[in-house]
Amino acid sequence: MFSIHRCRNGVAALLFLLCALPAFGQSFRVQCPPTTTLHPQALPRGAGEPAYTGPSVTGQNSQPTGVVNGAIKCQQISGGDGYATMGDGTQTYLFAFGPLSGLADIQKGLPGTQFASVFNTVGNASTDPTYNGAVGLVPDPESTPPGQLTGHVDPRQIMDIGVMNGNMPAPTMALDEDDEFFLTLTNVGMIMRPDLFEQHTVHFHGYPNASAFFDGVPDASVAINIGASFTYYYLAPDAGTYFWHCHVTPPEHLQMGMVGQIYVRPRQNRVTTATLYDSLVTQQQDPRTKCGTDILCSTPLPPRNSVMHAKNKSGTPTLYAYNDGDGSTAYDVEYPLQIDGFDPNFHFVGMTFNPEPFTDNKDKHFLLNGRS
């Protein structure tokens, strides 16, 4: 995840000094493996999300041959700055995340989260409006054999698209329960604040088993420097609607705009059994969420009824917010909604080189999806 360049030719003292400088450097990279222990077979492009067929293999010895559920999903975001346009046309300065993958989907208001087979493609998001892969991903000239997609990127493409491209809300993320999610944060710097050397992180609220390494609280975790990338890893554990934010000086970076949404769609969307209830019984036998052995088991089974896995008004299978077992969280329309408030004075001062007035901070703009 980090790339540390060592000097290979540091014999003469002067030479060593000259080439020691890059030793402090990091670099942009993306990480999106096509296979993992939990997902040993790469999904072909266009395969879609596999159906939920039973308890997942955990990778532990007790279950050497288990069912593989879900897929590998990947996303890249920038940490940087940008502007929001208020209802009266005022341009309000943001510290913000921007999209660096799934740009074609983001333009349509969809999440920027992609299957590994889509993320790991080479294309030019500046010229191709249909490109959903990782911005900057190019063949690695130093791979064996040369030309493999190893996560090596062309930083120019990332800077061309990522600089001054931050938005609030941050790029939407959406995955399915049982997915493995590789989220790369690439810090492109804040071009309006060259006096700052701000790090950024991703801190995922409501994520119960976060390892400290991927938790994004900089006091106890990793924070990402300008010019560097870091890939967070999450095993989507529990269906629901969550939010995430940068945890570097959180009152400032959150107020300035570094907050977005993450949706974990329930297994119930992918069951093929006749009744939702029976599928829920199967799900509750899953070692990862089984009652009695896992902290994620929160509720007993609801009363049995025989609701079929119904079609919605447009004739496609109904989607659900949670694994409810009885269809009670079915919905027809999917739309991300984020409510924010911010103080335009604080944002204005945040664009200058003066200290921000934390004690005078008072939200005056109330925002729905970034619009006042």
Residues that bind Cu ion (CB under 5 A): 200, 246, 248, 253, 258
Q: Would you say 247 or 288 has its CB closer to Cu ion?
A: 247
Residue closer to Cu ion, measured from CB, 236 or 258: 258
How close are the terminal C-alpha atoms of the chain, in Å?
Answer: 38
Classified as helix, coil or strand, 82 is strand
User: Ramachandran region of residue 7, left (φ > 0), alpha (ψ -120 to 50) or beta?
Assistant: beta
- Which residues, other chains included, contact 211 with Cβ-Cβ below 8 Å and sequence gap of 6+? none
The Cα–Cα gap between 288 and 54 comes to 12
Q: How near is the Cβ of 219 to Cu ion at its closest, in Å?
A: 14
CB of 325 closer than 8 Å to CB of 318: no
To Cu ion, the closest distance from the beta carbon of 179 in angstroms equals 25
Nearer to Cu ion, 230 or 322 (CB): 230
Nearer to Cu ion, 173 or 271 (CB): 173
Query: At closest approach, how far in Å is the CB of 199 from Cu ion?
Result: 7
Cβ-closest position to Cu ion: 246
Q: Cα(302)–Cα(13) distance, rounded to whole angstroms?
A: 72
The least CB distance from residue 126 to Cu ion, in Å, is 25
Residues in contact with 4: Cβ distance below 8 Å, sequence separation at least 6, in sequence order = 23, 26
Query: DSSP code of 263?
Result: E
Nearest approach, Cβ of 189 to Cu ion (angstroms)?
A: 11
Amino acid, res. 347: H
C-alpha distances out from residue 314 to 55, 272, 331, 332, 333, Å: 31, 19, 12, 8, 10
Report the residue count for the chain.
372
What contacts 227, CB < 8 A, 6 or more positions away? 25, 26, 27, 28, 187, 189
**Which residue's CB is nearer to Cu ion, number 152 or number 200?**
200
Closer CB to Cu ion, 114 or 255, in the complex: 255
DSSP SS3 for 178: coil
Report, in Å, the least distance between residue 358 CB and Cu ion: 16
CB of 200 or CB of 309, closer to Cu ion = 200
Q: What's the min distance (Å) between Cβ of 111 and Cu ion?
A: 21
Nearer to Cu ion by Cβ, of 152 and 347: the residue is: 347
CB of 225 to Cu ion, least distance (A): 12
Instruction: Pick the closest to residue 105 from 275, 268, 336, 282 (CA basis).
Output: 336
